[in-house]
Amino acid sequence: MPAEQQESVELLDAIPPERQVTLEFQNLCGWVPKVFATPGILPSFKNKNLDKGDLRQILYNVSGTCRPGSVLALMGPSGSGKTSLLSVLGGRTPDAVHLEGKVLFNGDPLTKRMKRKVGFVLQDDLMFESLTVYETLYYAAMLRLPQHMSKAAKKERVETVLKALGLTKCRNTIIGGFFMRGVSGGERKRVSVGHELLIDPSILMLDEPTSGLDATTALLLLGTLRKLAQGGRAVLTTIHQPASRLYQMLDKLMLLSEGHVIYYGDALSVAEWYRKLGYTMPYGMNAADFILDLASGVVTTKKLDGEESRVHCIACAERYLSTHPLGYFTNTPITEEELGPELWSSAQSRKQLDPNPNAEAHLVLDTGTSTDSATSASKESRWGASYTAQIQLLLTRTLKTRRFEALAQEDICQFVIVGVLSGLFWLRSGAGHSLYGAQNSNGLLFFEMMFVAMRAMLGALFAFPPQFQIMVKERASGMYCVSSFFWARMLSDIPIDCSLPSVLIILVYWMGGLRSSAAAFFANWASIVLLLLVAQSLGLVIGALIPRPKTAQAVTTVTALTMVLVAGFFVTNIHAWISWLKYISFIYYGYSLLLHIEYQGRTLYNCDLPDPENNPACTGYSGKALQEQLHLNRNPNEWPWEALALIGFLLALRATVYLSLRYKTKSRVR
C-alpha cells in the first residue's frame, strides 16, 4: 500500500476496548422454499406453514468466530452460500429463509441497538447517481451519526472518511451510473465502504467488495480493510476469487461448498491442511484457485473423482471442527483420533500426509473483548437525527437527487412543444359563447388533463423502484424512519413535478381561449395539479405493490384505460350494470371538475353571431339545459364536490404507499 494511503487510513480512530465486539455463530442451518412463487399482480406474502419437505437446505451447521483485529474471509464457488451466510450474520435474513442456530454479538443475540454498530456494504453499490461523493457521505452522516454530535463534528467525520479512503480528489464528482458518467468503479466501491465507516462500526461486513475492480484497486481496498481491523474492528467479507497477493492479506478463511464448511482456520494454512489430507497443491498455483477447485468438485485423485473428493474434504472439515471450533492453524497436528478411522485411512491411502504429525502446535488465540457499557448504551438515541431534521435532510437530498430529472432538457422541450402545438390546434377555439366552441373546449380540457395525468402516473411507476431499493438498504442501517422518508418524498413532488406541467397549463389555457378569468385560470391550474398528484400516487402504489416492471405496466395500462373510458368524454351513455366504474375513476371526477370551472354561471348559444344575447335567432342554454346540450356529467352550476373526491383519492393512495413502504421495509432482527 502506498505511504500516502497508509497514513490516511490511520486518521480513523481505533475502537476502544469497551466498544469492540466479537461475533460468534453456532450451528447455523438455513432453508429456502424449493419453488418460489412467480411475482404476479398481487403482492405475495411469506408462507409460514411450510414444512421441511417443501424446503431446500442452503446452510449446514456453519460455526465460526470473527474477533476484533482480524479479517475473516468467506470464500466458495458461486452458490456455496457466502452471501446468504453474510446476510444472516448481519441481521438481514430474507423472509424466505428459515433459520436455525445462534448468532451472538459479545455473547448476546443481535438487537436493534447493536445492529447500528454493524456496518454492512452490499455487493451492489446502491447510491443516488446524481449526488456527489461529498453529498452522499454528508447526508449519510447527518442522518446516521448520534444527535449529541454537533453539525461541525459530523462534517469533520465526513472529511476524515474522505481522507482515509483517498476520495478527496473526487469529492465533487457525482456518483454516476449507466446514463451519467461519474466516479470510477474503485472510487464508487470506496464510497460504499465510507458510507458505513461514518458510524465508526465495531463490525464491518462486506459482500464481495473487490468485485469488478482491477487487481491493484482491489489490493488497496483490502489493505484499507486490514488497517481498519487493526484499529479494533472485526471485518467479515466475502471474496469470490482473489488474486494471489490479495489472498495473502487475509487473516482467517472460511471456505464453503454448497452450504457446508470445507475449511475454517488460518488463511495461509489452507495448503498445509489439504496437504495433510492428501491433496498437495501444485507448485506455483494460486492457493485461492486450488481451494475453489476443491470446493467445486473438480480435483480428482487415483481413487476419488472430483465430487467424491469434495465430499471427503467436507467430512474431514466437519469432523475436525467438531473438536476444534477455532479452526485449523499452522503446524497443528491431525491424528486418527480426530478424523476417525475411516477418514484417516482414506487420507493415509494417498500417502501424502505430513510425516511429522507430532509437530508442535502453533495456535494464536485472539483475546476476548468486553461488552458495551450499559450506561453509554442507555444514553444512545435510537436515531442519528431528530424527526424534523430527518425530514429536512431527506427533503433536501431528494430535491438534489431529482434535480436532473426536474431540469432535463428533454422534459422542458417536451412540455413546451406539446403546449405550443396543442395551443395552435385549439387556437382561440374556446373564445366566444357558442356551443360549437364549447365542444372544442371540452376536447382541450380532456387532453390537458390526460397528458399531465398519464405522464405523471407512468413516471412514478418506473422511477420509484430504484429509490425503494436504496430505502431498503438505508432502513436496514437504521438511518431514518419510514414516515420521514415518506413526507420528504411527498413534499418534493410539489416543486419537482408541478413546475413543468404549469408551463403547459399556461400555454394551453390562454392559447386555447378558455374562460378569460383569473379565478377560472387558477382554479383550472389547481385542479390539474391535484389530478397530477392523484395520478402520481396511483403510479406509486402500483410500483410499490408490484415488483415486476412488465406486470406493473400492464396493470397500469388496463387501469388507466378503464378510468378514461368511463370519464364521460368518449362514451356518454354507459349501461347501468357497468356505469358504477366511473365512481372509482379519478379521471371522471377530474374531468367533471374542469367542466364545472369552465361553464359555471355561463350561458352559451346555439349560434356564432356577434351579439347572441339580443339576437332572436339565438337560443341561450345554462345550468341543466347546458348539461344536456354538451352531454356534461353534471349540472355545472351545482356545488363542485368533485374536488373533495379527488382529495380523498389522494389521501387514500398516499396512505397506501406509506403502508406498503412500512411493510416492505420493516426492520427485522433475526
Tens digits of per-residue pLDDT, 384-407? 778 888 888 888 888 888 776 666
Report whether pLDDT(649) > 90.
yes
More confident residue, 380 or 467: 467
The pLDDT, as a whole number, for residue 280 is 83
User: Highest mean pLDDT: which of 33-42, 332-341, 510-519?
Assistant: 510-519
Stretch 612-639: mean pLDDT, rounded?
81
In a domain, 31, yes or no: no
**Angstrom distance (rounded) from CA 358 to CA 360:** 6
In a domain, 584, yes or no: yes
The pLDDT, as a whole number, for residue 36 is 56
In a domain, 253, yes or no: no
Cell readout for 503 is: 408551463
In a domain, 589, yes or no: yes
DSSP string, 579-644: HGGGGG-HHHHHHHHHHHHHHTT--EESS--S-GGG-TT--EE-THHHHHHHT-SS-TTS--THHH
More confident residue, 378 or 615: 615
β partners of residue 25: 64, 103
Report whether pLDDT(641) > 70.
yes
Report whether pLDDT(42) > 80.
no
Strand order of the β-sheet with 234-238 is 118-121, 203-207, 234-238, 71-75, 252-257, 260-266
How many structural domains comprise the chain? Answer: 1
Is 428 within 8 Å of 512 (Cβ atoms)?
yes
The pLDDT, as a whole number, for residue 369 is 37
Is 111 within 8 Å of 670 (Cβ atoms)?
no
**Angstrom distance (rounded) from CA 492 to CA 397:** 10
3-state secondary structure of 553: helix
Task: Grade residue 81 by pLDDT with cuts at 50, 70 and 90.
Answer: confident
How many Cα atoms are found within 13 Å in the side-chain-facing hemisphere of 393?
22
The pLDDT, as a whole number, for residue 40 is 43
What are 244-303's pLDDT values in tens digits? 888 888 889 999 998 999 999 998 888 888 888 888 888 878 888 888 888 888 887 777
Report whether pLDDT(572) > 90.
no
The pLDDT, as a whole number, for residue 17 is 86
In a domain, 603, yes or no: yes
Report whether pLDDT(365) > 60.
no
Residue spans of alpha helices (H) in 426-517: 435-476, 482-511
Task: Grade residue 526 by pLDDT with cuts at 50, 70 and 90.
Answer: very high
What are 8-36's pLDDT values in tens digits? 445 567 888 888 899 999 999 988 887 65
Task: Grade residue 337 by pLDDT with cuts at 50, 70 and 90.
Answer: low
**Angstrom distance (rounded) from CA 297 to CA 258:** 11
In a domain, 595, yes or no: yes
What are 187-220's pLDDT values in tens digits? 888 888 888 888 888 898 988 888 777 777 788 8
The pLDDT, as a whole number, for residue 7 is 45
**For the chain, how big is the Rg over CA atoms in Å?**
33
- Kindly report the backbone phi and psi dihedral angles of residue 168, in degrees, each rounded to the nearest multiple of 5, phi listed first: -65, -40
Cell readout for 403 is: 434535480
Report whether pLDDT(583) > 60.
yes
**174 DSSP 8-state letter:** B
Which residues span the domain enclosing 484?
389-664
Instruction: Count each helix (H run) and each strand (E run) in the chain, helices first.
Output: 25, 12
The pLDDT, as a whole number, for residue 5 is 46
The pLDDT, as a whole number, for residue 376 is 41
In a domain, 29, yes or no: no
Q: What is the mean pLDDT of the chain?
A: 80
H or E element in which residue 182 lies: none
CB atoms within 10 A of CB 359: 12
For the chain, how many residues are written?
Answer: 670
More confident residue, 362 or 414: 414
Is 241 within 8 Å of 215 (Cβ atoms)?
no
Residues 6+ apart with CB under 8 A from 31: 52, 55, 56, 57, 58, 97, 98, 99
Cell readout for 19 is: 466498544
The pLDDT, as a whole number, for residue 534 is 93
The pLDDT, as a whole number, for residue 367 is 31
Stretch 430-456: mean pLDDT, rounded?
85
**Nearest CA among 239, 225, 214 for reference residue 74:** 239
Stretch 40-69: mean pLDDT, rounded?
70
In a domain, 518, yes or no: yes
